[in-house]
Amino acid sequence: MGSSCVNKIFSIIIFSLIAVWVWWPQVAGADNAEDVKPSVIQKLNTDDTGDKNPSVIRKIKESFSADLRIMTYGVIQEPAKSSQNPDNNFLQLPHYIAHLEIRPDLRFDTKFLDLSAKPRAKLDFSIWQEGSLNGETRWIDDWYVNEWLVRLKAWDRIFVSYGRENLQWGPSFLFSPSNPFFRDNGRSNPYMEVQGMEFGRLVFIPHSLWTISFILNTDEGRNTLMGPDAFEKNYAMKIDYTGGKNYASLIVSRKDHRKTLGFFGGWTVSDALLLYGECSMQRGSDALYPQRDVSPLGVSMSKTYQGDMDVKPIILVGSSYTLEGRGTFSLEYVYNAPGYNSEEADNYFTLRRDAATAFETGGTMGLLGQAVLSQTANPGLRFLRKNYAMLQYNQTNIMNKIDLTVRWTQNLDDGSGQFLGLLSYSIGDHWELFSSGVINAGPGNTEFGSTLSYQVMFGVKWVF
Protein backbone atom coordinates (compact mmCIF):
# COMPACT_ATOMS: atom_id res chain seq x y z
CA MET A 1 0.00 0.00 0.00
CA GLY A 2 1.45 3.39 -1.01
CA SER A 3 2.21 5.99 1.60
CA SER A 4 -0.24 8.39 -0.10
CA CYS A 5 -3.15 6.03 0.72
CA VAL A 6 -2.09 5.84 4.35
CA ASN A 7 -1.72 9.61 4.56
CA LYS A 8 -5.15 10.18 3.06
CA ILE A 9 -6.84 7.77 5.45
CA PHE A 10 -4.99 9.23 8.43
CA SER A 11 -5.99 12.76 7.37
CA ILE A 12 -9.68 12.00 7.05
CA ILE A 13 -9.73 10.17 10.40
CA ILE A 14 -8.15 13.19 12.11
CA PHE A 15 -10.51 15.60 10.32
CA SER A 16 -13.56 13.54 11.25
CA LEU A 17 -12.53 13.24 14.91
CA ILE A 18 -11.96 16.99 15.13
CA ALA A 19 -15.35 17.64 13.53
CA VAL A 20 -17.09 15.36 16.01
CA TRP A 21 -15.21 16.88 18.96
CA VAL A 22 -16.00 20.45 17.92
CA TRP A 23 -19.57 20.04 16.71
CA TRP A 24 -20.90 17.32 18.98
CA PRO A 25 -19.69 17.88 22.53
CA GLN A 26 -22.39 15.57 23.92
CA VAL A 27 -20.39 12.50 22.88
CA ALA A 28 -17.77 13.48 25.42
CA GLY A 29 -20.42 13.55 28.13
CA ALA A 30 -20.85 17.34 28.15
CA ASP A 31 -24.30 18.74 28.85
CA ASN A 32 -23.54 21.98 27.03
CA ALA A 33 -20.78 23.73 25.15
CA GLU A 34 -19.27 25.32 28.28
CA ASP A 35 -18.32 21.86 29.57
CA VAL A 36 -15.97 21.33 26.64
CA LYS A 37 -13.91 24.52 26.51
CA PRO A 38 -15.07 26.72 29.40
CA SER A 39 -12.44 29.41 29.16
CA VAL A 40 -13.10 30.15 25.51
CA ILE A 41 -16.86 29.60 25.45
CA GLN A 42 -17.47 31.69 28.54
CA LYS A 43 -15.62 34.59 26.94
CA LEU A 44 -17.64 34.26 23.76
CA ASN A 45 -20.96 34.20 25.64
CA THR A 46 -20.29 36.80 28.31
CA ASP A 47 -20.82 40.52 27.68
CA ASP A 48 -18.99 43.38 29.39
CA THR A 49 -21.41 43.38 32.34
CA GLY A 50 -20.76 39.72 33.09
CA ASP A 51 -24.22 38.53 31.94
CA LYS A 52 -24.24 35.32 29.94
CA ASN A 53 -26.25 35.49 26.66
CA PRO A 54 -26.15 33.22 23.64
CA SER A 55 -23.71 34.65 21.11
CA VAL A 56 -23.82 34.32 17.34
CA ILE A 57 -20.77 32.06 17.42
CA ARG A 58 -22.35 29.80 19.99
CA LYS A 59 -25.62 29.58 18.02
CA ILE A 60 -23.70 28.66 14.89
CA LYS A 61 -21.72 26.02 16.74
CA GLU A 62 -24.84 24.49 18.28
CA SER A 63 -26.31 24.16 14.77
CA PHE A 64 -23.53 21.75 13.78
CA SER A 65 -23.59 18.03 14.43
CA ALA A 66 -21.46 15.16 13.21
CA ASP A 67 -20.88 11.48 13.59
CA LEU A 68 -18.26 9.07 12.38
CA ARG A 69 -18.42 5.43 11.37
CA ILE A 70 -15.41 3.32 10.49
CA MET A 71 -16.02 -0.08 8.91
CA THR A 72 -13.64 -2.82 8.01
CA TYR A 73 -14.67 -6.14 6.51
CA GLY A 74 -13.51 -9.03 4.42
CA VAL A 75 -15.29 -10.66 1.47
CA ILE A 76 -14.91 -14.18 0.13
CA GLN A 77 -16.71 -14.89 -3.13
CA GLU A 78 -16.77 -17.52 -5.84
CA PRO A 79 -17.43 -16.46 -9.46
CA ALA A 80 -20.08 -18.61 -11.13
CA LYS A 81 -19.18 -20.96 -13.96
CA SER A 82 -21.29 -19.37 -16.67
CA SER A 83 -21.13 -17.94 -20.17
CA GLN A 84 -21.53 -14.42 -18.78
CA ASN A 85 -18.06 -14.62 -17.27
CA PRO A 86 -16.02 -17.32 -19.06
CA ASP A 87 -13.19 -18.42 -16.75
CA ASN A 88 -13.63 -15.11 -14.91
CA ASN A 89 -11.85 -13.36 -17.78
CA PHE A 90 -14.69 -10.93 -18.55
CA LEU A 91 -15.92 -9.64 -15.18
CA GLN A 92 -12.59 -10.40 -13.49
CA LEU A 93 -14.12 -10.77 -10.03
CA PRO A 94 -11.58 -11.04 -7.18
CA HIS A 95 -11.84 -14.04 -4.87
CA TYR A 96 -10.84 -12.17 -1.70
CA ILE A 97 -11.39 -8.51 -0.74
CA ALA A 98 -10.22 -6.67 2.37
CA HIS A 99 -12.04 -3.38 2.78
CA LEU A 100 -11.71 -0.29 4.99
CA GLU A 101 -14.26 2.52 4.82
CA ILE A 102 -14.49 5.81 6.71
CA ARG A 103 -17.89 7.51 6.79
CA PRO A 104 -18.16 10.91 8.49
CA ASP A 105 -21.59 12.58 8.33
CA LEU A 106 -21.64 16.36 8.80
CA ARG A 107 -24.78 18.49 9.34
CA PHE A 108 -25.64 22.14 9.87
CA ASP A 109 -29.31 22.67 10.78
CA THR A 110 -31.01 26.00 11.42
CA LYS A 111 -34.58 27.22 11.33
CA PHE A 112 -34.31 28.27 7.71
CA LEU A 113 -31.24 26.53 6.24
CA ASP A 114 -29.99 22.93 6.36
CA LEU A 115 -26.60 21.82 5.04
CA SER A 116 -25.19 18.30 5.05
CA ALA A 117 -22.29 16.36 3.56
CA LYS A 118 -21.23 12.72 3.60
CA PRO A 119 -17.59 12.46 2.47
CA ARG A 120 -16.26 8.96 2.06
CA ALA A 121 -12.88 7.28 1.99
CA LYS A 122 -12.49 3.67 0.81
CA LEU A 123 -9.53 1.36 0.58
CA ASP A 124 -9.70 -2.11 -1.00
CA PHE A 125 -7.14 -4.88 -1.25
CA SER A 126 -8.16 -7.59 -3.73
CA ILE A 127 -6.73 -11.01 -4.56
CA TRP A 128 -7.54 -12.95 -7.73
CA GLN A 129 -7.42 -16.74 -8.00
CA GLU A 130 -9.06 -17.23 -11.41
CA GLY A 131 -8.86 -15.87 -14.91
CA SER A 132 -6.24 -13.68 -16.54
CA LEU A 133 -5.54 -11.94 -13.20
CA ASN A 134 -4.91 -15.21 -11.35
CA GLY A 135 -2.37 -14.65 -8.55
CA GLU A 136 -2.45 -10.85 -8.81
CA THR A 137 -3.22 -8.41 -6.01
CA ARG A 138 -4.36 -4.81 -6.20
CA TRP A 139 -4.84 -1.81 -3.88
CA ILE A 140 -7.59 0.65 -4.80
CA ASP A 141 -8.48 3.82 -2.90
CA ASP A 142 -11.51 6.00 -3.60
CA TRP A 143 -12.28 9.45 -2.19
CA TYR A 144 -15.61 11.13 -2.86
CA VAL A 145 -18.74 12.72 -1.42
CA ASN A 146 -21.61 10.25 -1.65
CA GLU A 147 -24.27 12.73 -0.56
CA TRP A 148 -24.50 16.47 0.04
CA LEU A 149 -27.49 18.76 0.39
CA VAL A 150 -28.46 22.42 0.63
CA ARG A 151 -32.08 22.88 1.76
CA LEU A 152 -33.86 26.19 2.31
CA LYS A 153 -37.15 26.66 4.13
CA ALA A 154 -38.60 29.15 1.68
CA TRP A 155 -41.93 29.47 3.50
CA ASP A 156 -43.78 27.81 6.35
CA ARG A 157 -44.89 24.94 4.10
CA ILE A 158 -42.38 25.07 1.24
CA PHE A 159 -38.84 23.62 1.14
CA VAL A 160 -36.36 23.99 -1.73
CA SER A 161 -33.24 21.84 -1.96
CA TYR A 162 -30.45 20.77 -4.27
CA GLY A 163 -27.75 18.21 -3.80
CA ARG A 164 -26.59 14.64 -4.20
CA GLU A 165 -29.04 12.30 -2.46
CA ASN A 166 -30.15 8.71 -2.15
CA LEU A 167 -33.92 9.12 -2.54
CA GLN A 168 -35.70 5.98 -1.39
CA TRP A 169 -39.33 5.23 -0.66
CA GLY A 170 -41.86 2.44 -0.64
CA PRO A 171 -42.51 -0.52 1.69
CA SER A 172 -41.06 -3.32 -0.45
CA PHE A 173 -38.00 -5.32 0.57
CA LEU A 174 -36.95 -6.90 -2.73
CA PHE A 175 -36.81 -3.63 -4.70
CA SER A 176 -38.93 -0.52 -5.25
CA PRO A 177 -40.58 -0.54 -8.69
CA SER A 178 -42.28 2.82 -8.04
CA ASN A 179 -38.90 4.59 -7.79
CA PRO A 180 -37.88 5.88 -11.25
CA PHE A 181 -34.42 6.93 -10.07
CA PHE A 182 -32.83 3.99 -8.23
CA ARG A 183 -32.88 0.29 -9.11
CA ASP A 184 -31.41 -0.69 -5.72
CA ASN A 185 -33.31 0.17 -2.53
CA GLY A 186 -30.37 -0.79 -0.28
CA ARG A 187 -32.31 -3.42 1.70
CA SER A 188 -30.35 -6.41 0.42
CA ASN A 189 -27.26 -5.25 2.30
CA PRO A 190 -27.67 -2.19 4.55
CA TYR A 191 -23.90 -2.06 5.12
CA MET A 192 -23.28 -1.15 1.48
CA GLU A 193 -24.33 2.41 0.63
CA VAL A 194 -26.43 3.18 -2.45
CA GLN A 195 -24.55 5.73 -4.53
CA GLY A 196 -26.17 9.19 -4.64
CA MET A 197 -27.46 11.17 -7.61
CA GLU A 198 -28.01 14.91 -8.13
CA PHE A 199 -31.52 16.19 -7.44
CA GLY A 200 -33.33 19.49 -7.23
CA ARG A 201 -36.50 19.33 -5.13
CA LEU A 202 -39.44 21.56 -4.24
CA VAL A 203 -41.57 20.17 -1.40
CA PHE A 204 -44.97 21.63 -0.54
CA ILE A 205 -46.96 20.51 2.55
CA PRO A 206 -50.53 21.79 2.09
CA HIS A 207 -51.93 19.67 4.94
CA SER A 208 -50.67 17.40 7.71
CA LEU A 209 -51.88 14.38 5.70
CA TRP A 210 -50.57 15.48 2.30
CA THR A 211 -47.17 16.27 0.77
CA ILE A 212 -46.44 17.27 -2.83
CA SER A 213 -42.88 17.04 -4.19
CA PHE A 214 -41.47 18.20 -7.52
CA ILE A 215 -38.19 16.41 -8.29
CA LEU A 216 -35.62 17.01 -11.02
CA ASN A 217 -32.82 14.45 -11.43
CA THR A 218 -30.09 16.53 -13.07
CA ASP A 219 -27.09 14.18 -13.04
CA GLU A 220 -26.23 10.54 -12.35
CA GLY A 221 -23.67 11.56 -9.72
CA ARG A 222 -22.02 8.44 -8.30
CA ASN A 223 -24.76 6.09 -9.53
CA THR A 224 -23.53 4.96 -12.94
CA LEU A 225 -25.32 1.59 -13.25
CA MET A 226 -28.36 2.99 -15.04
CA GLY A 227 -28.66 0.64 -18.00
CA PRO A 228 -27.69 0.56 -21.66
CA ASP A 229 -28.36 4.30 -22.21
CA ALA A 230 -26.49 7.43 -21.32
CA PHE A 231 -27.99 9.45 -18.50
CA GLU A 232 -31.15 11.41 -19.21
CA LYS A 233 -32.71 14.07 -17.01
CA ASN A 234 -35.75 12.77 -15.18
CA TYR A 235 -38.64 14.93 -13.97
CA ALA A 236 -41.10 13.68 -11.37
CA MET A 237 -44.05 14.78 -9.26
CA LYS A 238 -44.77 12.78 -6.10
CA ILE A 239 -47.98 13.10 -4.06
CA ASP A 240 -47.98 11.47 -0.62
CA TYR A 241 -50.89 10.72 1.68
CA THR A 242 -50.31 9.44 5.22
CA GLY A 243 -53.30 8.43 7.34
CA GLY A 244 -53.67 6.66 10.64
CA LYS A 245 -53.72 3.08 9.31
CA ASN A 246 -52.89 3.52 5.66
CA TYR A 247 -50.66 5.47 3.34
CA ALA A 248 -50.30 5.93 -0.42
CA SER A 249 -48.13 7.75 -2.94
CA LEU A 250 -48.50 8.53 -6.62
CA ILE A 251 -45.40 9.26 -8.71
CA VAL A 252 -45.52 10.64 -12.25
CA SER A 253 -42.12 10.87 -13.95
CA ARG A 254 -40.86 11.78 -17.39
CA LYS A 255 -37.53 11.32 -19.08
CA ASP A 256 -36.71 13.05 -22.35
CA HIS A 257 -38.72 10.52 -24.32
CA ARG A 258 -40.85 8.44 -21.92
CA LYS A 259 -43.44 8.84 -19.16
CA THR A 260 -43.84 6.48 -16.19
CA LEU A 261 -46.60 6.22 -13.62
CA GLY A 262 -45.71 4.78 -10.23
CA PHE A 263 -47.65 3.97 -7.08
CA PHE A 264 -47.09 2.48 -3.64
CA GLY A 265 -49.32 2.09 -0.63
CA GLY A 266 -49.90 0.14 2.54
CA TRP A 267 -52.78 -0.82 4.81
CA THR A 268 -52.42 -1.78 8.46
CA VAL A 269 -55.03 -4.52 8.84
CA SER A 270 -54.16 -5.19 12.48
CA ASP A 271 -51.26 -4.80 14.88
CA ALA A 272 -49.74 -7.92 13.35
CA LEU A 273 -50.74 -7.80 9.66
CA LEU A 274 -49.69 -5.28 7.03
CA LEU A 275 -50.61 -5.39 3.34
CA TYR A 276 -48.71 -3.31 0.78
CA GLY A 277 -47.98 -2.95 -2.90
CA GLU A 278 -45.94 -1.06 -5.46
CA CYS A 279 -46.14 -0.73 -9.21
CA SER A 280 -44.89 1.21 -12.20
CA MET A 281 -46.39 1.46 -15.66
CA GLN A 282 -44.95 2.74 -18.91
CA ARG A 283 -45.42 2.16 -22.60
CA GLY A 284 -42.80 -0.03 -24.18
CA SER A 285 -39.34 -0.59 -22.73
CA ASP A 286 -35.88 0.93 -23.12
CA ALA A 287 -34.18 -2.38 -22.26
CA LEU A 288 -32.23 -4.58 -24.67
CA TYR A 289 -33.89 -7.75 -25.99
CA PRO A 290 -32.31 -10.62 -27.97
CA GLN A 291 -33.54 -10.93 -31.55
CA ARG A 292 -32.53 -13.46 -34.19
CA ASP A 293 -31.00 -11.82 -37.27
CA VAL A 294 -28.20 -12.18 -39.83
CA SER A 295 -25.48 -10.80 -37.53
CA PRO A 296 -22.26 -12.85 -37.06
CA LEU A 297 -23.63 -14.47 -33.88
CA GLY A 298 -27.12 -15.02 -35.29
CA VAL A 299 -28.71 -13.04 -32.43
CA SER A 300 -28.21 -9.43 -31.37
CA MET A 301 -29.39 -7.21 -28.53
CA SER A 302 -31.65 -4.33 -29.54
CA LYS A 303 -34.33 -2.02 -28.13
CA THR A 304 -37.13 -4.05 -29.63
CA TYR A 305 -39.96 -2.47 -27.65
CA GLN A 306 -38.74 1.13 -27.46
CA GLY A 307 -41.55 2.38 -29.68
CA ASP A 308 -44.15 -0.11 -28.45
CA MET A 309 -47.42 1.47 -27.27
CA ASP A 310 -48.41 -1.45 -25.05
CA VAL A 311 -48.19 -0.80 -21.32
CA LYS A 312 -45.62 -2.97 -19.56
CA PRO A 313 -46.37 -2.86 -15.81
CA ILE A 314 -44.14 -3.98 -12.94
CA ILE A 315 -46.37 -5.02 -10.03
CA LEU A 316 -45.27 -6.01 -6.53
CA VAL A 317 -47.73 -7.15 -3.87
CA GLY A 318 -46.67 -8.07 -0.37
CA SER A 319 -47.69 -8.68 3.20
CA SER A 320 -45.91 -8.74 6.56
CA TYR A 321 -47.03 -10.61 9.66
CA THR A 322 -45.38 -9.96 13.01
CA LEU A 323 -45.44 -12.71 15.62
CA GLU A 324 -46.14 -11.57 19.16
CA GLY A 325 -42.84 -10.95 20.91
CA ARG A 326 -40.89 -12.31 17.92
CA GLY A 327 -39.92 -11.48 14.38
CA THR A 328 -41.73 -10.59 11.16
CA PHE A 329 -42.47 -12.79 8.14
CA SER A 330 -42.76 -10.98 4.80
CA LEU A 331 -43.98 -12.44 1.52
CA GLU A 332 -43.75 -10.65 -1.84
CA TYR A 333 -44.71 -11.51 -5.41
CA VAL A 334 -43.47 -9.61 -8.46
CA TYR A 335 -44.89 -9.57 -11.96
CA ASN A 336 -42.24 -8.03 -14.21
CA ALA A 337 -43.88 -7.49 -17.61
CA PRO A 338 -40.71 -6.04 -19.27
CA GLY A 339 -38.84 -9.27 -18.46
CA TYR A 340 -37.98 -11.89 -21.05
CA ASN A 341 -40.48 -14.54 -22.08
CA SER A 342 -39.34 -18.12 -22.68
CA GLU A 343 -38.34 -17.56 -26.31
CA GLU A 344 -36.43 -14.39 -25.52
CA ALA A 345 -34.68 -16.10 -22.61
CA ASP A 346 -33.59 -18.98 -24.88
CA ASN A 347 -32.23 -16.50 -27.42
CA TYR A 348 -30.50 -14.54 -24.67
CA PHE A 349 -28.61 -17.52 -23.27
CA THR A 350 -27.79 -18.77 -26.78
CA LEU A 351 -26.34 -15.37 -27.67
CA ARG A 352 -24.43 -15.20 -24.41
CA ARG A 353 -22.92 -18.64 -24.94
CA ASP A 354 -21.80 -17.77 -28.49
CA ALA A 355 -20.49 -14.37 -27.36
CA ALA A 356 -18.41 -16.09 -24.66
CA THR A 357 -16.91 -18.41 -27.29
CA ALA A 358 -16.12 -15.45 -29.52
CA PHE A 359 -14.61 -13.55 -26.58
CA GLU A 360 -12.21 -16.39 -25.82
CA THR A 361 -11.25 -16.67 -29.51
CA GLY A 362 -9.69 -13.21 -29.52
CA GLY A 363 -9.09 -10.90 -32.45
CA THR A 364 -12.04 -9.22 -34.17
CA MET A 365 -14.48 -11.86 -32.96
CA GLY A 366 -13.12 -11.39 -29.45
CA LEU A 367 -13.98 -7.69 -29.55
CA LEU A 368 -17.48 -8.52 -30.79
CA GLY A 369 -17.93 -11.07 -28.01
CA GLN A 370 -16.76 -8.55 -25.42
CA ALA A 371 -19.27 -5.94 -26.65
CA VAL A 372 -22.14 -8.43 -26.55
CA LEU A 373 -21.22 -9.68 -23.07
CA SER A 374 -21.30 -6.07 -21.88
CA GLN A 375 -24.86 -5.82 -23.17
CA THR A 376 -26.01 -9.12 -21.68
CA ALA A 377 -24.46 -8.21 -18.31
CA ASN A 378 -26.64 -5.10 -18.05
CA PRO A 379 -29.54 -5.12 -20.52
CA GLY A 380 -31.44 -2.48 -18.55
CA LEU A 381 -33.75 -4.81 -16.62
CA ARG A 382 -33.90 -4.98 -12.82
CA PHE A 383 -34.97 -8.64 -13.13
CA LEU A 384 -34.41 -10.76 -16.21
CA ARG A 385 -37.66 -12.76 -16.28
CA LYS A 386 -41.33 -12.12 -15.46
CA ASN A 387 -42.35 -13.87 -12.21
CA TYR A 388 -40.66 -13.84 -8.80
CA ALA A 389 -41.51 -14.65 -5.20
CA MET A 390 -39.71 -13.69 -1.99
CA LEU A 391 -40.04 -14.98 1.58
CA GLN A 392 -38.23 -13.16 4.38
CA TYR A 393 -37.92 -13.41 8.15
CA ASN A 394 -36.58 -10.52 10.19
CA GLN A 395 -36.10 -10.14 13.93
CA THR A 396 -34.39 -7.29 15.75
CA ASN A 397 -33.14 -6.83 19.32
CA ILE A 398 -32.71 -10.52 20.05
CA MET A 399 -31.36 -10.46 23.61
CA ASN A 400 -30.99 -6.70 23.01
CA LYS A 401 -27.92 -7.41 20.90
CA ILE A 402 -28.71 -9.34 17.71
CA ASP A 403 -30.50 -8.40 14.47
CA LEU A 404 -31.25 -11.22 12.01
CA THR A 405 -32.65 -11.31 8.46
CA VAL A 406 -32.96 -14.35 6.20
CA ARG A 407 -34.49 -14.18 2.73
CA TRP A 408 -35.18 -16.53 -0.16
CA THR A 409 -35.92 -15.14 -3.63
CA GLN A 410 -37.27 -17.53 -6.25
CA ASN A 411 -37.28 -17.01 -10.02
CA LEU A 412 -40.53 -18.76 -10.87
CA ASP A 413 -39.70 -18.91 -14.59
CA ASP A 414 -36.25 -20.52 -14.74
CA GLY A 415 -36.16 -22.20 -11.30
CA SER A 416 -33.07 -20.44 -9.98
CA GLY A 417 -33.04 -18.83 -6.54
CA GLN A 418 -31.04 -16.78 -4.09
CA PHE A 419 -30.54 -17.08 -0.34
CA LEU A 420 -29.62 -13.94 1.60
CA GLY A 421 -28.63 -13.73 5.26
CA LEU A 422 -27.84 -10.66 7.37
CA LEU A 423 -26.61 -10.79 10.96
CA SER A 424 -25.37 -8.11 13.34
CA TYR A 425 -24.23 -8.23 16.97
CA SER A 426 -23.90 -5.08 19.09
CA ILE A 427 -21.01 -4.79 21.55
CA GLY A 428 -21.66 -1.86 23.84
CA ASP A 429 -22.64 1.53 22.45
CA HIS A 430 -19.95 1.92 19.80
CA TRP A 431 -19.03 -1.48 18.32
CA GLU A 432 -20.96 -3.83 16.04
CA LEU A 433 -20.01 -7.10 14.42
CA PHE A 434 -21.84 -7.85 11.19
CA SER A 435 -22.02 -10.44 8.46
CA SER A 436 -23.90 -11.00 5.22
CA GLY A 437 -24.06 -14.01 2.96
CA VAL A 438 -25.48 -14.72 -0.49
CA ILE A 439 -25.81 -18.16 -2.04
CA ASN A 440 -27.12 -18.42 -5.60
CA ALA A 441 -28.79 -21.64 -6.67
CA GLY A 442 -29.07 -22.61 -10.31
CA PRO A 443 -26.91 -23.60 -13.28
CA GLY A 444 -25.01 -21.10 -15.41
CA ASN A 445 -27.86 -20.66 -17.89
CA THR A 446 -30.20 -19.21 -15.26
CA GLU A 447 -30.48 -15.71 -13.84
CA PHE A 448 -29.19 -16.26 -10.31
CA GLY A 449 -26.54 -18.72 -11.49
CA SER A 450 -24.93 -16.27 -13.91
CA THR A 451 -22.50 -14.17 -11.86
CA LEU A 452 -21.68 -15.46 -8.36
CA SER A 453 -21.96 -18.87 -6.76
CA TYR A 454 -21.67 -17.36 -3.28
CA GLN A 455 -20.45 -14.29 -1.44
CA VAL A 456 -19.74 -14.03 2.30
CA MET A 457 -18.83 -10.86 4.19
CA PHE A 458 -17.61 -10.49 7.79
CA GLY A 459 -16.87 -7.12 9.37
CA VAL A 460 -16.82 -4.78 12.32
CA LYS A 461 -18.24 -1.25 12.58
CA TRP A 462 -17.18 1.42 15.03
CA VAL A 463 -19.56 4.36 15.63
CA PHE A 464 -18.36 7.53 17.30
DSSP of 31-68:
SSGGGTSHHHHHHHTB-TTS-B---HHHHHHHTEEEEE
**pLDDT average, residue stretch 393-415:** 96
pLDDT at 223: 86
| DSSP single-letter state for residue 231 | P
pLDDT at 229: 63
Where residue 464 falls among pLDDT bands split at 50, 70, 90? confident
| CA–CA separation, 344 and 426 (whole Å) | 47
pLDDT at 231: 82
Q: Reduced to 3 DSSP states, what percent helix, strand and coil does the chain have, rounded to the nearest 5?
A: 20, 45, 35
- Residue 73: inside a domain, yes or no? yes
- Residue 45: inside a domain, yes or no? no
**Domains: count for the chain:** 1
Q: Which of 109, 103, 147, 146 is nearest to 15 (CA)?
A: 103
- Does residue 306 register a pLDDT over 90? no
| CA–CA separation, 247 and 238 (whole Å) | 13
Where residue 326 falls among pLDDT bands split at 50, 70, 90? confident
- Does residue 220 register a pLDDT over 70? yes
- Residue 322: inside a domain, yes or no? yes
8 A C-beta contact, residue 178 and residue 263: yes
Q: Global pTM?
A: 0.85
Rounded to the nearest 5°, which phi and psi values hold at 258? -150, 140
- Does residue 18 register a pLDDT over 50? no
Rounded to the nearest 5°, which phi and psi values hold at 280? -145, 145
pLDDT at 88: 94
Residue 417: is it exposed, middle or buried by C-beta count within 10 angstroms (0-12/13-18/19+)? buried
| CA–CA separation, 443 and 445 (whole Å) | 6
Where residue 8 falls among pLDDT bands split at 50, 70, 90? low
- Does residue 48 register a pLDDT over 80? no
pLDDT > 90 in the chain, percent: 74
Where residue 225 falls among pLDDT bands split at 50, 70, 90? low
- Does residue 1 register a pLDDT over 60? no
- Residue 36: inside a domain, yes or no? no
Where residue 12 falls among pLDDT bands split at 50, 70, 90? low
8 A C-beta contact, residue 92 and residue 77: no
**pLDDT average, residue stretch 100-114:** 93
In 243-386, where do the E strands start and end? 246-254, 259-268, 273-282, 289-292, 299-302, 314-322, 328-336
Would you say the C-alpha torsion 63, 69, 70, 74 has a positive or negative sign? negative
| CA–CA separation, 450 and 352 (whole Å) | 11
pLDDT > 70 in the chain, percent: 87
Query: How far does Cα 113 stand from its chain's mean position?
Result: 27
Which CATH number does the domain housing residue 206 bear? 2.40.160.10
- Does residue 325 register a pLDDT over 50? yes
Give the residue, 55 or 23, on which the prediction is more confident.
55
pLDDT at 226: 61
pLDDT at 244: 85
8 A C-beta contact, residue 397 and residue 387: no
pLDDT at 55: 72
Where residue 256 falls among pLDDT bands split at 50, 70, 90? confident
- Residue 52: inside a domain, yes or no? no
| CA–CA separation, 278 and 333 (whole Å) | 11
Where residue 63 falls among pLDDT bands split at 50, 70, 90? confident
- Residue 50: inside a domain, yes or no? no
- Does residue 29 register a pLDDT over 50? no
User: How does pLDDT run across 159-204, given as a tens digit for each residue?
Assistant: 999 999 999 999 999 999 999 999 889 999 999 999 999 999 999 9
In 269-386, where do the E strands start and end? 273-282, 289-292, 299-302, 314-322, 328-336
- Does residue 3 register a pLDDT over 70? no
8 A C-beta contact, residue 132 and residue 360: no
Where residue 228 falls among pLDDT bands split at 50, 70, 90? low
Give the residue, 56 or 64, on which the prediction is more confident.
64
**pLDDT average, residue stretch 274-281:** 97
- Residue 323: inside a domain, yes or no? yes
Least confident interval from 49-58, 77-86, 311-320: 49-58
Residue 416's domain comprises 3-30+63-463
- Residue 43: inside a domain, yes or no? no
**pLDDT average, residue stretch 216-243:** 86
Q: Which of 125, 120, 135 is nearest to 75 (CA)?
A: 125
pLDDT at 41: 33
Share the mean pLDDT of the chain. 88
